[in-house]
Structure 1
Amino acid sequence: MSQKIATREAYGDALKELGQVNENVVVLDADLSKSTKTAVFQKEFPERFFNMGIAEQNLMGTAAGFATSGKIPFASTFAMFATGRAFEIIRNSICYPKLNVKVCATHAGITVGEDGASHQALEDLACMRAIPNMTVINPADAVSAKKAVFAMADFNGPVYARFGRAAVPTIYDEDMKFEIGKGIQVKEGKDVSIIATGIMVSLALEASKILKSEGIDSRVIDIHTIKPIDKDLIIKAAKETGAIVTAEEHNIIGGLGSAVAEVLVENHPVSMKRVGTMDTFGESGKPNDLMKKYGLTGENIVKAVKEVLNQK
């Protein structure tokens, strides 16, 4: 793992690069372009950028209109407003007709920090994966975030992508392969599988190092696509290691942990523990302090691994 870059930064850079090679790409924002980093695209392609104001339902409805006209709209705002305030429009105007809209939300999770509970979307993955026709993506670092943007542009259909405010370690090399619906085994291991998404992938790798020093060989898997989830990779991990720990910067209800549990219980049940926020709202504070308070650390993953191994 090398330098730290926020996935929202990578999103902005990717939009600019994508705009240079695909003239059908248009970008819409809800008056947050400096924060969501869509301003990078706006500066390069002002005629293809649309500030819809603080009107998220209108943002999504207009994006749907662009999609019906053959454009590839990327609609951005904070995750709380995209999935909360505009849920009905995403459901009825984008997913029901299966329109080619990319809802790219930033400032998700507890690492929004000082903005507090009202802005810390910890339910967004659950909301979006419950809607028929929606694909849900949560990249782990800047490299995978940029590749996800290009993959979304090539994919025909509604997509929800989650990007973060805080800088996170870079895990992947530039030659990594990003395929929608396919997880990535980042590290081999035979005793237990740690299945993580988003910024928790780097913490899963940290936990794996701690576990190795204690004689526990842990596999680490990055599930960047929550829906459709990579069932084959999860079942393979369950069969080969016999124990699973999931890790997400999201409520343990409805997100990665729930999605993995659904796969396991229907196909190959094994002992499992979930690391995430425990059905609670966040609060204002420094991102690192909040991660510790709400149990989103490498140490918490290590603890969960030990608990699940005792059940194995």
Structure 2
Amino acid sequence: MNSIVRNPAAGSAPQRLKTSAMIASIAGEGQRTRPAPFGHALAALAEVRKDIVGLTADLSKYTDLHIFARQHPERFFQMGMAEQLLMGATAGMAREGFVPFATTYAVFASRRAYDFICMAIAEENLNAKIVCALPGLTTGYGPSHQATDDLAIFRAMPKLTIVDPCDALDIEQATPAIAAYKGPVYMRLLRGNVPLVLDEYNYKFELGKAKMIRDGRDVLIISSGLMTMRALEAARLLQKDSVDVGVLHVPTIKPLDVETIRREAAKSGRMVVVAENHSVVGGLGEAVACELLRNGIAPRFRHVGLPDAFLDAGALPTLHDRYGISTEAMSASIKAWL
């Protein structure tokens, strides 16, 4: 995307600056970030684990795999713009005893390469890790690149573990954790300069475990991915209005930590809000609601998520406000529901 900026100096020619909706950062102004946490974590892991290999479909720069490729070129495989081939090669690497990390965009893995992941990797229970950038609404490029349905698609796939990290720390800790796990994993990826927030809460990623980041008497937000960061921001905003908000981070979508979710949602007197960077159809919200209903737990329940629609293209802050997943929009919704 190009934009024209005119120099205020008289007679100067307009300057064309390049911006990208594809790799737009979700970090707010002045927010602490770390660059390419996945790429650095995988490269560091490969120093001690010689079975780690990296593959991508012409997207190493945009999935941060270029960090790994630079440090371990003999274990990096560029498959070109062929996601089905990427997943087939990933399956082959896993069969040969390697631990392959395959990267692409979430839309391409979930829509274009679904059958290859299902038949070649998941059904065979192969030890392959699929790590995908641009999950949910993290690009302004419109429906062709916005993976608003990836969790719904992959939650229905047997044997597949699903991880949705919140920030740079979560990604850094989740990367070696999924490498140590024996079986297929799909991990949503925040790439580039990724916000750093969970280090303030003595957080430690554990595969399959939800973590109570902060407690609150009035509202419990159950969230995953970047929406945990937004939930923590919303909690601080709502505190100014004397609304006490707890945040339960659920980095593993499948298998769901049902014991923790049931225990926290069953506490009386507070509304439960599920917040996710995904369609309201088929994601964390429906998974949590179903689990609570099955077990006779019936709090006041609300859902913050993306609409069941093909979303607009545009600037991410505008889109996040429009579709209700910005900090301000979520805070306003919670205040209206109370």
State if a TM-score over 0.5 links the two structures.
yes
Corresponding residue of 1:14: 41
- C-alpha separation between the residues in 2 aligned to 1:218 and 1:131? 34
Name the SS for the 2:203 alignment partner.
coil
**What letter matches 1:124 in structure 2?**
D
Corresponding residue of 1:52: 79
| Pick aligned residue for 2:315 from 280, 286, 290 | 286
| Pick aligned residue for 1:95 from 94, 111, 122 | 122
Matches within 5 A, 1:126-145: 126-145=152-171
- C-alpha separation between the residues in 2 aligned to 1:233 and 1:308? 24
Corresponding residue of 1:258: 286
Q: 1:111·1:288 contact (CA, 8 Å) conserved in 2?
A: no
| Pick aligned residue for 2:99 from 72, 86, 98 | 72
- C-alpha separation between the residues in 2 aligned to 1:111 and 1:166? 12
| Pick aligned residue for 2:264 from 230, 233, 237 | 237
Deviations 1:33-60, CA, capped at 9 Å, x for gaps: 1111111111111111111111111111
Deviation at 1:176, TM superposition (A): 3.1
Name the SS for the 2:287 alignment partner.
helix
Deviation at 1:270, TM superposition (A): 1.8
| Pick aligned residue for 1:105 from 132, 142, 158 | 132
Deviation at 1:209, TM superposition (A): 1.4
Corresponding residue of 2:227: 200
| Pick aligned residue for 1:122 from 142, 148, 172 | 148
Deviation at 1:248, TM superposition (A): 1.0
Deviation at 1:303, TM superposition (A): 3.5
| Pick aligned residue for 1:33 from 56, 60, 78 | 60
Report the CA distance shift for 1:279/1:5 in structure 2 as closer, same or farther (over 3 A).
Answer: farther
**What letter matches 2:72 in structure 1?**
F
- C-alpha separation between the residues in 1 aligned to 2:337 and 2:287? 18
**What letter matches 1:300 in structure 2?**
A
User: Is 1:173 the equivalent of 2:199?
Assistant: yes
User: Is 1:271 the equivalent of 2:300?
Assistant: yes
Deviation at 1:300, TM superposition (A): 2.9
Deviation at 1:199, TM superposition (A): 0.7
Report the CA distance shift for 1:273/1:168 in structure 2 as closer, same or farther (over 3 A).
Answer: farther
| Pick aligned residue for 2:242 from 207, 211, 215 | 215
- C-alpha separation between the residues in 1 aligned to 2:334 and 2:142? 30
Question: Which segments of 5 or more consecutive residues in structure 1 lack a partner in the other structure?
Answer: none
> Which is greater in Rg?
2
Deviation at 1:271, TM superposition (A): 1.7
Name the SS for the 1:104 alignment partner.
strand
Corresponding residue of 1:81: 108
Name the SS for the 2:162 alignment partner.
strand
Deviation at 1:301, TM superposition (A): 2.3
Deviations 1:133-165, CA, capped at 9 Å, x for gaps: 000001000010111100001000000000135
- Structure 1's consecutive aligned runs of 4 or more residues displaced over 4 angstroms after TM superposition are 165-168
Aligned pairs, number:
306
Corresponding residue of 1:246: 274
Deviations 1:274-293, CA, capped at 9 Å, x for gaps: 11111112222111111111
- C-alpha separation between the residues in 2 aligned to 1:122 and 1:197? 14
Deviations 1:183-235, CA, capped at 9 Å, x for gaps: 11111112220011111111101111122221221111111110011111111
Identity %: 41
Name the SS for the 1:34 alignment partner.
coil
- C-alpha separation between the residues in 2 aligned to 1:254 and 1:14? 30
Q: 1:273·1:304 contact (CA, 8 Å) conserved in 2?
A: no
- C-alpha separation between the residues in 2 aligned to 1:259 and 1:181? 14
Deviations 1:116-149, CA, capped at 9 Å, x for gaps: 2210110111111110000000100001011110
- C-alpha separation between the residues in 1 aligned to 2:230 and 2:261? 19
- C-alpha separation between the residues in 2 aligned to 1:87 and 1:269? 35
Question: Which segments of 5 or more consecutive residues in structure 2 lack a partner in the other structure?
Answer: 1-29
Deviation at 1:305, TM superposition (A): 2.8
Deviations 1:232-280, CA, capped at 9 Å, x for gaps: 1111111114421011111011111111111111111222111111111
Corresponding residue of 2:16: none
- C-alpha separation between the residues in 2 aligned to 1:97 and 1:271? 41
User: Is 1:296 the equivalent of 2:325?
Assistant: yes
| Pick aligned residue for 1:4 from 2, 16, 33 | 33
Deviation at 1:180, TM superposition (A): 0.7
**What letter matches 2:308 in structure 1?**
D
Bigger drift between 143-152 and 102-111 goes to 102-111
Q: 2:166·2:227 contact (CA, 8 Å) conserved in 1?
A: yes
- C-alpha separation between the residues in 2 aligned to 1:236 and 1:191? 16
Given the two structures, how large is their TM-score scaled by the length of structure 1?
0.94
Q: 1:244·1:271 contact (CA, 8 Å) conserved in 2?
A: yes
Q: 2:64·2:191 contact (CA, 8 Å) conserved in 1?
A: no
**What letter matches 2:283 in structure 1?**
G
